[in-house]
Amino acid sequence: MRVQLTKTFDFDAAHHLPTFPEGHKCRGPHGHGFRVAVRVEGEVDEAKGYLLDFGEITAACEPIRKKLDHAYLNEIAGLENPTAENLARWIWQRLKPQLPLLSAVIVYESATSACEYRGE
């Protein structure tokens, strides 16, 4: 049986988007309550009855959540232009080594706006 599991984590952070046009509301400093959904996919081990313990996903995500929470994202190496797209890729690059079954990272910067990244 093939399944997808999704685990979410939240963090609050500020940023500015330096490549947006002058006068755009996102070019200046502002903040978001971000939600990140981390999805893994694969075949269930029939002997165990599950794909992956949700706790393993949480453990892989926690150092990333701590680094991002209450941070100014532009000051984090690799996030000098912290768009939702770049943030999703940045998180993917740090999670993939710990979660080989990673299939998607979805970054919600609001309840209605999100970016889904599935690797290169």
pLDDT digits (tens, 9 = 90+) for 30-59: 999 999 999 999 999 999 999 999 999 999
The predicted model gives 97-120 an average pLDDT of: 96
> For this structure, is 109 an active site residue?
yes
Distance CA 38, CA 100 (A): 12
For residue 78, what pLDDT is reported? 97
Range of the domain at 113: 2-117
Q: How far apart are CA 82 and CA 101, in angstroms?
A: 25
Cα separation, 33 vs 108, whole angstroms: 9
Task: Check residues 26 and 43 and name the one with the higher pLDDT.
Answer: 43
Active-site option among 16, 26, 41, 115: 26
At 19, list the tokens.
Answer: 């490549």
Q: What does the alpha-carbon distance between residue 8 and residue 16 come to, in Å, rounded to a whole number? A: 24
CA distance 91 to 112: 20
Active site residue 80: no
Active site residue 62: no
d(CA 22, CA 18): 9
Number of domains in the chain: 1
Percent of the chain with pLDDT over 90: 97
How far apart are alpha carbons 22 and 38 in whole angstroms? 33
Residue 112: count of CB within 10 angstroms of its CB: 6
Catalytic residue among 70, 75, 80, 85: 70
Mean pLDDT across 23-34: 93
Indicate which CATH number applies to the domain containing 51: 3.30.479.10
